[in-house]
Amino acid sequence: MTTTRRSLLAGAAFATSFALSPAFAQAPTEIELFFPVPVDGQLARDMAALIKEFNTAHPAIKATPVYTGSYDETLIKTRAAMKAGKPPAAVIMSANFLLDLKIEGEIQSMDALIKADGKSNDQFMGQFFDALHGNAVLDRQVYGVPFHNSTPLLYVNTDHLKEAGLDPDKLPANWEELVTTAKKLTKREGDRVTRWGMMMPSNYDYGGWILQALTHSNGGQWFNVDYGGEVYYDTPSMLGALTFWSDLVSRHKVHPAGVQAGGAVSSAFLSGQASMMLLSTGSLTHIRNNAKFPYKVAFVPKNVKNEVPIGGASLVIPAGVEGERRKAAWTLINWMTAPEKSGWWSRATGYFAPNKAAYDLPEMKEFLAKNPDAGIAVSQLAFAKPWFATYKTVPVRKAIEDELAAVLSAKKTPKEALVAAQKQADEIMRPYVEQTALKLPTN
Amino acid sequence: MSAATLSTGVSTGEISPKLGYAATLLIAALWMVPFIWMLVAAFNPESIGAGMASLVPSYIPTLANFHEAWASADFPRYGLNTLIITLGILAVQIVTITLAGYAFARLEFPGRTLCFYLFLLQLMLAPVVLIVPNLTTIAKLGLYDSLMGVMAPYFASAFGTFLMRQAFRAIPRELEDAALIDGASVFQRIGFIYLPLAKPSLVAFSIVSVTAHWNEFLWPLMVINSPDLRPLTVGLASFTRGAEGAQAWGVIAAGTLLVSAPLLIAFALFQRAFVNSFVSSGIK
């Protein structure tokens, strides 16, 4: 069965190339785009539609969208494919993996392509919001083009606010208000909690990001933005952030204990079992379409200052993609990140459009007028910083996420957890540190 | 109460039929819970919300979830791919494990024991470790992005070889000797003496193999690029792995049911044969 179909296909391909080769028409350059689906299944179909539109508009290129699982699985598949000598032409890659990929020499700089288009790097990156540059421009070279991005956002069920006698227009702006509001919103029947005042996701990938948001809101940094070998896990700002989260669980009892997955948090919010949550702006469209109650969104409440990390993904070109395939990938990347497509994808998902010009288009203005919540998500960008990215981002992130899980299950104190996480992260990054910051002249 | 029954069970040194029956029921109930939940959720018109956690349906059943799941992926094609992969692997495996099992069980050659232990060592390797080396080999063989590439690494099975070796060793050598006297060749002896007697082991292995490859996700995800060649698991994942949206439990349950239904039906149909084979292969 397979062989028949394969040989048929091969035969067809052969026949086509034979028929076309002597003529001026060339066979289209075939490229693959690896893409994760961070939102829901509908978007996998939307992506297929988008690429089909691209192929129709560009007959010289034939792009195939390849669904590659979660962000982490996309990284595994891309690395495996490269090692096997089959790098995809372009990948939608989690924005905080770019630094590690660059350190390992697995993605290529786009500077030459930008130059060939007659632009400087600053002109090219100028299209995108400033907050996104930190995860895309590494050592002054452009390694990624922002495709869809997010920040954490506070979602509040305003029906619950009214019911608790609170002003539905005044959402918690700092940690103090967050705790008092959450206490009023939490409902109990005896010892059993029937409604949580506050929920935050703590599963892998999500937990680290939310903790980074709390750390930034507490004046912290999380990692050295300019150097991939340092994280600041064992610091006062981080201790405050982690203790705050743990207090919500064990002291104030307004947040469920244990690890909460992102999907479970939004399901709890949508079903009225949680009154407030911190979640990605990437979920905004999903919440809007499924909430059967009025809700409002606000900036992440602060303790010291308003500041959050960005999230989302960038388009990258793996090392080893050359010639026509590289050019075709570049065409695809520019097409996908242009204002019109960027805006369309933003409206479909809830991610904001990285391309600033997308917000000048009439359809986007109309959309924002109708959905002011999407506007708040964009305005938080002015307070956004890069997402943590280090040498071996995923294990360094897991080092703290495992400790976070232990704290949320009351198995460790925040201080113990941070010391352990710092030690483990330093251990993971040591090979890189020894090759860079600690590589000193010996004579 | 359970402590009391347990102690009487221990004191006589045997498990009474009643106790055994109760334990079976308990374990069956534990196993059934997720399945029942999947059934209840799949027909739930809500798909998201508090009612989704319930094991007792409290709604008018709907097929909307199935409709959406069906529309979200090309299930017939994915199903065909999965079928080709699982049956293709199994067909080749049966040949390789029979021959290898026979070699380890009956042929005398230097280093046989060492070879066998090396073979068993392969059981200890986590498949994830092998992804990159396997993929490199597959690409070199020109099988990247093909169903053959998904199947190839599984053509030999350490587990199956072990199982067949044990089964063959339990068969009296006299039977083979008798056939040998009648002038049967090696393949005739395997085909007419060993295989029929080792059928229960073969069936048991087939079930394990088919279920494992039917449900496999990571390896096909690595090998396959073309949407046309995706197996069911990869197709299903496109709407269950959303990290930032809420999970639409109803649709996920319906999709999972669609994916697992063929296997479930096959098990229901051949249940007696399967159970018998497990029982007799276990006794040996």
DSSP state letters, A221-282: -SB-TT-TT-B--SSHHHHHHHHHHHHHHHTS--S-SS---HHHHHHHHHTTSEEEEEEEGG
Report residue A151's pLDDT band, with 50, 70 and 90 as the boundaries.
Answer: very high
Least CB-CB distance to B247: which of A37, A83, A267?
A: A267
Model confidence at A24: pLDDT above 70: no
| DSSP 8-state code for residue B51 | G
Residues of B in contact with A262 (CB under 8 A): 243-244
B57 lies in the same domain as B162: no
Q: Under a CB-based contact definition with an 8 Å cutoff, are residues B179 and B197 in contact?
A: no
Q: How many CB atoms lie within 10 A of CB A79?
A: 18
Least CB-CB distance to B50: which of A266, A271, A286?
A: A271
Least CB-CB distance to B221: which of A40, A64, A77?
A: A77
pLDDT digits (tens, 9 = 90+) for A398-414: 999 999 999 999 999 99
Four-CA torsion A16, A18, A22, A25, nearest 10 degrees: 20
- Residues of B with a Cβ under 8 Å from any A Cβ are 48-52, 72-73, 80, 84, 88, 131-132, 135-136, 138-140, 144-148, 218, 221-222, 225-227, 230, 234, 237-249, 251
Substitution target from A46, A67, A68, A387 for chain B, most B beta carbons within 10 A: A67
Four-CA torsion A340, A345, A346, A352, nearest 10 degrees: -90
pLDDT digits (tens, 9 = 90+) for A282-332: 888 888 888 889 999 999 999 999 999 999 999 999 999 999 999 999 999
Report residue A12's pLDDT band, with 50, 70 and 90 as the boundaries.
Answer: very low
Residue B264 buriedness (CB in 10 A; 0-12 / 13-18 / 19+) = exposed
Q: Under a CB-based contact definition with an 8 Å cutoff, are residues A234 and A293 in contact?
A: no
- Interface check for A282 against chain B (CB to CB < 8 A): the answer is yes
Least CB-CB distance to A290: which of B48, B140, B242?
A: B48
Q: Stretch B79-90: mean pLDDT, rounded?
A: 94
B29 lies in the same domain as B51: yes
Give how far B152 is from chain A: nearest CA, Å: 13
| Phi and psi, residue B132, nearest 5° | -65, -50
Substitution target from B244, B256, B258, B259 for chain A, most A beta carbons within 10 A: B244
> Is residue B113 situated within a structural domain?
yes
Give how far B248 is from chain A: nearest CA, Å: 8
Query: Alpha-carbon distance A214 to A185, whole Å?
Result: 21
Report residue B238's pLDDT band, with 50, 70 and 90 as the boundaries.
Answer: low
What's residue B35's pLDDT? Answer: 85
Q: How many CB atoms lie within 10 A of CB B249?
A: 24
B189 lies in the same domain as B149: yes
Report residue A274's pLDDT band, with 50, 70 and 90 as the boundaries.
Answer: very high
> Is residue B10 situated within a structural domain?
no
> What integer best gives the mean pLDDT of chain A?
90
Least CB-CB distance to B246: which of A70, A86, A267?
A: A267
Q: Stretch B86-101: mean pLDDT, rounded?
A: 95
What's residue A317's pLDDT? Answer: 97
Q: Do B247 and A263 touch (CB under 8 A)?
A: yes
| Phi and psi, residue A156, nearest 5° | -130, 135
Model confidence at A3: pLDDT above 70: no
Query: Alpha-carbon distance A230 to A430, whole Å?
Result: 10
Could you tell me the CATH number of the domain that includes residue B184? 1.10.3720.10
- Interface check for A271 against chain B (CB to CB < 8 A): the answer is yes
Q: Do A83 and B88 touch (CB under 8 A)?
A: no
Q: How far is CA A330 from the centre of its chain?
A: 22
B124 lies in the same domain as B38: no
What's residue B11's pLDDT? Answer: 52
> What amino acid occupies position A333?
I
What's residue B249's pLDDT? Answer: 74
Tokens standing for B118? 């090396």
Q: How far is CA B185 from the centre of its chain?
A: 33
Residues of A in contact with B84 (CB under 8 A): 1-2
Report residue B95's pLDDT band, with 50, 70 and 90 as the boundaries.
Answer: very high
Residues of B in contact with A37 (CB under 8 A): 238-239, 241-242
B106 lies in the same domain as B194: yes
Residues of B in contact with A70 (CB under 8 A): 241, 243
Q: Do A267 and B148 touch (CB under 8 A)?
A: no
Report residue A266's pLDDT band, with 50, 70 and 90 as the boundaries.
Answer: confident
| DSSP 8-state code for residue A285 | H
Model confidence at A237: pLDDT above 70: yes
CATH architecture classification, A25-149+311-385: 3-Layer(aba) Sandwich (3.40)
> What amino acid occupies position A24?
F
pLDDT digits (tens, 9 = 90+) for A253-263: 999 999 998 88
Residues of A in contact with B241 (CB under 8 A): 37, 69-70, 73
pLDDT digits (tens, 9 = 90+) for A40-85: 556 777 788 889 999 999 999 999 988 888 888 899 899 999 988 8
CA closest to B247 among chain A residues: A263
Q: How many CB atoms lie within 10 A of CB B8?
A: 10
Query: Alpha-carbon distance A212 to A220, whole Å?
Result: 8
What's residue B137's pLDDT? Answer: 92
> Is residue B111 situated within a structural domain?
yes
Give how far A287 is from chain B: nearest CA, Å: 8
Task: Please state, for a pLDDT cut of 90, what percent of chain A lies above it.
Answer: 76
Q: Do A70 and B72 touch (CB under 8 A)?
A: no
CA closest to B148 among chain A residues: A2
Tokens standing for A184? 């009023």
As for the ipTM of the complex, it is: 0.71
Residues of B in contact with A66 (CB under 8 A): 225-227
pLDDT digits (tens, 9 = 90+) for B181-221: 998 898 999 998 899 889 888 988 998 899 899 989 889 98
Q: Under a CB-based contact definition with an 8 Å cutoff, are residues A425 and A433 in contact?
A: no
What's residue A54's pLDDT? Answer: 95
CATH architecture classification, A152-310+389-435: 3-Layer(aba) Sandwich (3.40)
Least CB-CB distance to A1: which of B49, B72, B84?
A: B84
Report residue A348's pLDDT band, with 50, 70 and 90 as the boundaries.
Answer: confident
> For chain B, what is the domain count?
2
Least CB-CB distance to A38: which of B148, B226, B243?
A: B243
Which secondary structure element, helix H or strand E, spans residue A63, and what is its range?
strand A61-67
Q: Under a CB-based contact definition with an 8 Å cutoff, are residues A406 and A329 in contact?
A: no
> Is residue B245 situated within a structural domain?
yes
Which residues 113-172 of A have a C-beta within 8 angstroms of B? 150
Question: A382-396, A417-431, B79-93, B259-273: lowest mean pLDDT where?
Answer: B259-273
The size of chain A, in residues, is: 443
Which residues 356-415 of A have a C-beta within 8 angstroms of B? none
Residues of B in contact with A88 (CB under 8 A): 225
Report residue B284's pLDDT band, with 50, 70 and 90 as the boundaries.
Answer: very low
Query: Alpha-carbon distance B275 to B207, whole Å?
Result: 11
Q: Stretch A119-146: mean pLDDT, rounded?
A: 95
Q: Do A80 and B222 touch (CB under 8 A)?
A: yes
Q: Do B132 and A84 touch (CB under 8 A)?
A: yes
Residues of A in contact with B135 (CB under 8 A): 80-81, 83-84
Which secondary structure element, helix H or strand E, spans residue A316, and what is its range?
strand A311-316
Q: Stretch A34-41: mean pLDDT, rounded?
A: 70
Q: Stretch A146-163: mean pLDDT, rounded?
A: 95
What's residue A16's pLDDT? Answer: 44
Q: Stretch B220-246: mean pLDDT, rounded?
A: 76
Smallest CA-to-CA distance from B129 within A401, A34, A76, A395 is with A76
Q: Do domains A25-149+311-385 and A152-310+389-435 have the same CATH topology?
A: yes
Q: Stretch B126-153: mean pLDDT, rounded?
A: 89
Q: Where are the domains of chain A?
A: 25-149+311-385, 152-310+389-435
Q: Do A68 and B138 touch (CB under 8 A)?
A: no
Q: Do B136 and A41 touch (CB under 8 A)?
A: no
Alpha helical stretches, state H, chain B: 2-12, 17-42, 64-72, 75-106, 112-121, 131-140, 147-151, 158-169, 173-181, 186-189, 195-197, 199-214, 218-223, 232-240, 249-283
* A61-67 sheet: strands from edge to edge: A61-67, A29-35, A90-94, A311-316, A145-150
Model confidence at B237: pLDDT above 80: no
Distances (CA, A) of B170 to A240, B16, B191, B199, B262: 66, 31, 16, 13, 34
Q: Under a CB-based contact definition with an 8 Å cutoff, are residues B165 and B115 in contact?
A: no
Q: Under a CB-based contact definition with an 8 Å cutoff, are residues A96 and A389 in contact?
A: yes
Q: Under a CB-based contact definition with an 8 Å cutoff, are residues B122 and B158 in contact?
A: yes
Query: Alpha-carbon distance A99 to B152, whole Å?
Result: 35
> Is residue B149 situated within a structural domain?
yes
| DSSP 8-state code for residue A155 | E
Smallest CA-to-CA distance from A74 within A31, A120, A33, A28 is with A33
Query: Alpha-carbon distance A31 to A12, whole Å?
Result: 19
> Is residue B9 situated within a structural domain?
no
> Is residue B228 situated within a structural domain?
yes
Q: What is the pTM of this model?
A: 0.80
Residues of B in contact with A150 (CB under 8 A): 244
> Is residue B49 situated within a structural domain?
yes
What's residue B52's pLDDT? Answer: 64
The domain of B201 spans: 74-283
Q: Under a CB-based contact definition with an 8 Å cutoff, are residues B38 and B250 in contact?
A: no
pLDDT digits (tens, 9 = 90+) for B6-60: 444 445 566 788 888 899 899 988 888 888 888 888 888 776 655 666 777 777 7
